Structure 1
Amino acid sequence: MTWRVLALSGLGCVALLAAIGGTWLFLLPGAPAQGTAPAISKEETEATLAALKPPKRKRPLIAIVGINDMSETTDYLMPYGILARADVADVLTLATQPGPVTLYPALKVQPHATIAEFDAAHPDGADYVIVPAMSREDDAVVVQWIRSQASKGAIIVGVCVGAKVVANTGLLDGRQATTHWYSVRDLQKHSAIRYVADRRLVVDRGVATTTGITASMPMALTLVEAIAGRARAEAVARDIGLAEWNARHRSAAFQFTRPFALTAIANTLAFWNREQLGTALTPGIDEVSLALIADAWSRTYRLRALTFAATAEPQMSRGGLRILPDNIAADWPASLTPPAAVDMPPAPALDQTLSAIDARYGSRTADFVAMQLEYPR
């Protein structure tokens, strides 16, 4: 009798959870809101560029800081790769502790220095500090270091959910800001922060924030323009395959929808069909294209994006960053190797990767990935 009661109780709980889950899914919007991103006035663009002018040096010093365990892949690598390519500043990648930085959801890199080594070499601080999303948004060491850099006059740039790290420093109190669409409510929990919709980049009195992951591309180009002028930014934009890089954005186009939720659930539950996609690490590989490709494929929830090389030695990227291979191997099965997008400029590489994801897993998964990357398609 007792077992029967327990079984019926268990079935009842399952039925209740299914009913709650079904109701939750039913109440989600079926599709993102349609519309056009509002135009950005010339005056606003000029004000943004003026606010991002180098605060100290003619040739600025830019520090990209991360914690060693799980800083976001594209947030960390894209600003570095674009700014290094532009050659308008000295750009360094930093970590809070010695050793490599394990990025999320893919890749592992050896940063140029620790924050302690940076402080010893540059006691007057950086001109810009770029803050990616991190697995621990309240890491005491990085929060205190960002505060210290701001006190030395650095412009702080929170990329994507890096805005939440910056929020924890208190530097966004009383300022306008934005962040990845999924974390807007978290940012709004800070009552002193004024969230701004429909902008990919928001700058307010020495602190800048961006929307989701791919917003680091227009953010980096905007920095190039602020530092070295429009012509230099246009040349870099052509080189990476991006037609424009203004702050135009339609926030309502990115939201938690029923197809998004169903795709996340279905792809997560398909645990028996996991794949490992291998990309060969070669000398001079474009770190921005590699980051976008690895990030996008990993966010399908269907596979793990890995790198491989013939030896365990780090491979030097195009911009001079050492990337560590995940596997030691001479080659990888052709069916589990991404298309040669890694040899393309970053923006076309991402477009081709999303098309390849569509072909492999369907349009819903491609849209699911683009939504996570906050990438307008």
Structure 2
Amino acid sequence: MSWRILGWTVVGGVALLAAIGGTWLLLLPGAPSSGTASAISSEEAAATLAALKPPKRKRPLIAIVGINDMSETTDYLMPYGILARADIADVLTLATQPGPVTLYPALKVQPHATIAAFDAAHPDGADYVIVPAMSRDDDAAVLQWIRSQAGKGAIVIGVCVGATVVAKTGLLDGKRATTHWYSVRDLQKHTTIRYAPDRRLVVDQGVATTTGITASMPMALTLIEAIAGRAKAEAVAREIGLAAWDARHRSDAFSFTRPFALTAIANTLAFWNREQLGIALTPGIDEVSLALIADAWSRTYRSRALTFAATPQVQKSRGGLGILPERIADDWPAHQTLPDTVTSPPAQALDETLRAIETRYGSRTADFVAMQLEYPR
């Protein structure tokens, strides 16, 4: 009798959880709202550029800082690759500790220096500090270092959920800010921070923040324009395949919807159908295209992209950053090797990747990835 009671209890519990889960799904919106983002006024655009002018050097020093265990892939690599391509500043990637930085959800890189080595070489500090999303937003070493750089006059830029890291330093207190759509509530836990919707980039009193992952592309171009002028920014934009950029954004186009939740659940439950997809790591590889491709495929919940090479030797990217192969192999099975879109301009590479994801896994998964990247399709 006791086993029968236990059995019915388990069945009842499962039914209750299913009912709660079903109700939750039904209450989610069926789709994000549609519409067009409002244009940014010329006055606001000019104010943004003025606020991002180099605070110290004619040729600025830009530091991109991350923790060694899981800083976000595109947040860390895209600003570096675009700014290094522009060659209008000295750009360094940093880590809190010696050794490589394991990026999330894919790739591993060798940063240029630790924060301690940077401080020893540049006691006056950086002109700009770029802060990507990190697996932990409360790392004491990185928080203290960001505060110290701000105290030396650096403009601090929180990319995506890097905004919550900057928020933990106190530098956003009393200021306007934005972040990835999924983390807006986390940002709003800091009651003095004023969330600014419908802006992909917000600058307030020496601190800038952006929306989701792909927003680091227009952010980097805006920074290039502030440093070196519109013509230079337009030239770099053409190289990376981006026709236009500014701070316009429609926040309500990105939200936790029923299709998003159902895709996450279905792809997670399909644990028997996971793939590892290889990207050949070659010298001079474009780190921006590589980051976007690896990031996108690794966010399907069906696959993980990883780099492979014939030897464990660190490969230098187009911008001179050391990228470590994640697998040592002379070749990779053809059906598990990603198309060579890494040679495409970054914006084009991402569009090609989303189309390939749609072909392989369906439109819902492609939309699911684009929503995570906060990328308009």
TM more than 0.5: yes
Structure 1 residue 148 and structure 2 residue 158: aligned? no
Shift of residue 337 of structure 1?
A: 1.2
Q: Which residue of 2 aligns with 1:128?
A: 128
Q: Which residue of 2 aligns with 1:309?
A: 309
Matching of residues 249-264 of structure 1 within 5 Å: 249-264=249-264
Q: Which residue of 2 aligns with 1:9?
A: 9
3-state SS in 2 of match to 1:8: helix
Aligned length: 377
Q: Which residue of 2 aligns with 1:236?
A: 236
Q: Which residue of 1 aligns with 2:340?
A: 340
Q: Which residue of 2 aligns with 1:74?
A: 74
1:182, 1:99 → 2: CA distance?
31
Q: Which residue of 2 aligns with 1:185?
A: 185
Matching of residues 25-174 of structure 1 within 5 Å: 25-174=25-174
3-state SS in 2 of match to 1:342: helix
2:296, 2:231 → 1: CA distance?
30
1:369, 1:299 → 2: CA distance?
6
Shift of residue 6 of structure 1?
A: 0.6
Query: What per-residue deviation string (whole Å, max 9, x for no partner) do you get for residues 77-114 of structure 1?
Result: 00000000000000000000000000000000000000
Q: Which residue of 2 aligns with 1:282?
A: 282
Q: Percent identity?
A: 84
Shift of residue 308 of structure 1?
A: 0.3
Shift of residue 338 of structure 1?
A: 1.3
Query: What per-residue deviation string (whole Å, max 9, x for no partner) do you get for residues 244-289 of structure 1?
Result: 1100100000000000000000000000001000000000000000
Q: Which residue of 2 aligns with 1:366?
A: 366
Task: Give the letter for the 2:63 counterpart.
Answer: A
1:141, 1:301 → 2: CA distance?
32
3-state SS in 2 of match to 1:243: coil
Unaligned runs of 5+ in 1: none
3-state SS in 1 of match to 2:218: helix
Shifted more, 333-342 versus 154-163: the winner is 333-342
3-state SS in 1 of match to 2:292: helix
Q: List, as ranges, runs of 4+ consecutive aligned residues in structure 1 with deviation greater than 3 Å.
A: none
Provide TM-score, normalisation by structure 2.
1.00
Task: Give the letter for the 1:6 counterpart.
Answer: L
Task: Give the letter for the 1:256 counterpart.
Answer: F
Q: Which residue of 2 aligns with 1:349?
A: 349
2:294, 2:92 → 1: CA distance?
22
Task: Give the letter for the 1:69 counterpart.
Answer: D
3-state SS in 1 of match to 2:19: helix
Task: Give the letter for the 2:86 counterpart.
Answer: A
2:103, 2:262 → 1: CA distance?
27
1:153, 1:293 → 2: CA distance?
35
Unaligned runs of 5+ in 2: none
2:83, 2:245 → 1: CA distance?
14
Query: What per-residue deviation string (whole Å, max 9, x for no partner) do you get for residues 180-216 of structure 1?
Result: 0000011011101000000000000000000000000
Q: Which residue of 2 aligns with 1:221?
A: 221
1:219, 1:331 → 2: CA distance?
37
3-state SS in 1 of match to 2:125: coil
Shift of residue 340 of structure 1?
A: 1.2
1:354, 1:41 → 2: CA distance?
31
Shift of residue 339 of structure 1?
A: 1.3
Query: What per-residue deviation string (whole Å, max 9, x for no partner) do you get for residues 60-83 of structure 1?
Result: 000000000000000000000000
2:166, 2:4 → 1: CA distance?
54
Say what the alpha-carbon RMSD is for the aligned residues: 0.4
Shift of residue 311 of structure 1?
A: 0.4
Task: Give the letter for the 2:347 counterpart.
Answer: A
1:335, 1:204 → 2: CA distance?
48
Q: Which residue of 2 aligns with 1:212?
A: 212
3-state SS in 2 of match to 1:208: strand
3-state SS in 2 of match to 1:126: coil
Q: Which residue of 2 aligns with 1:331?
A: 331
Q: Which residue of 2 aligns with 1:18?
A: 18
1:68, 1:159 → 2: CA distance?
17
1:191, 1:120 → 2: CA distance?
36
1:21, 1:245 → 2: CA distance?
40
Shift of residue 225 of structure 1?
A: 0.2
2:45, 2:335 → 1: CA distance?
45
Shift of residue 155 of structure 1?
A: 0.1
Shifted more, 355-364 versus 330-339: the winner is 330-339
1:295, 1:261 → 2: CA distance?
19
2:160, 2:95 → 1: CA distance?
18
3-state SS in 1 of match to 2:97: coil
Shift of residue 304 of structure 1?
A: 1.2
Shift of residue 331 of structure 1?
A: 1.0
2:287, 2:137 → 1: CA distance?
24
